[in-house]
Amino acid sequence: MPSPASSFSSDDRNLPDASGQAGEPNARAARFLERIARLLAARGENPFRIRAYQEAAARIGAMSENILDVWRAGRLQSVRGIGPSIAAKLGEFLATGQSRYLAELEAATPAGIEELLEIPGIGPRRARLLIERLGVQTPQELIAAAEEHRLRDLPGFGPRLEQELLVAARRQTQRQHRLLLGTAWPIADQLIESLRADPLVREVSPAGSLRRMCETIGDIDLLAASERPAEVTDHFVHLPVVAEIRAHGPTKATVLLHSGLQVDLRVVSARSWGAALQYFTGSKLHNIALRDLAISRGLKLNEYGVFDEQTGRRLAGETEEEVYQALGLDWMPPELREDRGEIQAALDHHLPVLVERGDINGDAHVHSDWSDGTASIETMARAARSMGLSYLMITDHSPGLAVARGLTIERFQRQQQEIQHLNRLLAPFWIGWGAEVDITPAGTLDLPESILTALDYVAVAVHSRFQMGREAMTRRILTALRNPRVHALCHPMGRLLGQREGYEVDLEAVLRAAAAAGVAIEINGQPQRLDLPDTWVRRARELGCQFVIGSDAHGPAHVQFLQYGVAVARRGWLSSADILTTLPTEPWIAWLRQKSRRAA
How far apart (Å, rounded) are the C-alpha atoms in residues 68 and 75?
10
DSSP state of 502: P
Dihedral of the alpha carbons of 460, 417, 582, 544, in degrees to the nearest 10: 30
Alpha carbons 33 and 25: distance in angstroms, whole number: 13
Per-residue confidence (pLDDT) for residue 108, from 0 to 100: 85
pLDDT by position in tens, the chain (length 600): 334 455 444 333 333 333 334 456 787 888 899 889 988 888 888 888 888 898 888 888 777 788 998 999 999 998 888 999 999 999 999 999 899 999 999 888 887 787 888 888 888 889 888 988 998 888 889 999 999 999 999 999 999 999 989 888 877 775 556 789 999 999 999 999 999 999 999 999 999 999 999 999 988 999 999 999 999 999 999 999 998 898 999 999 999 888 778 899 999 999 999 999 999 999 999 999 999 999 999 999 999 999 999 999 999 999 999 999 999 999 999 999 999 999 999 999 999 999 999 999 999 999 999 999 999 999 999 999 999 999 999 999 999 888 788 999 999 999 999 999 999 999 999 999 999 999 999 999 999 999 999 999 999 999 999 999 999 999 999 999 999 999 999 999 999 997 888 999 999 999 999 999 999 999 999 999 999 999 999 999 999 999 999 999 999 999 999 999 999 999 999 999 999 999 999 999 999 999 766 666
The whole-number pLDDT of residue 12 equals 36
Cβ-based burial of 411 (10 A; exposed 0-12, middle 13-18, buried ≥19): middle
pLDDT for residue 5: 55
Contact criterion met (CB below 8 Å) for 257 and 243: yes
Q: Report if pTM > 0.85.
A: no
Helix (H) or strand (E) holding 203: strand 203-206
Single-letter amino acid, residue 293: L
Going along the chain from its start, the domains and CATH numbers come out as 10-108 (1.10.150.110), 113-175 (1.10.150.20), 179-268 (3.30.460.10), 274-347 (3.30.210.10), 357-599 (3.20.20.140)
pLDDT at 599: 64
- Measured between alpha carbons, how far is 241 from 535 in angstroms, rounded to an integer? 35
Question: Whole-angstrom Cα distance, residue 59 to residue 80?
Answer: 8
Output the pLDDT for position 174: 58
Q: Which residues contact 81 (CB under 8 A, 6 or more apart)?
A: 52, 55, 56, 59
The helix/strand count (H/E) of the chain reads as 24, 17
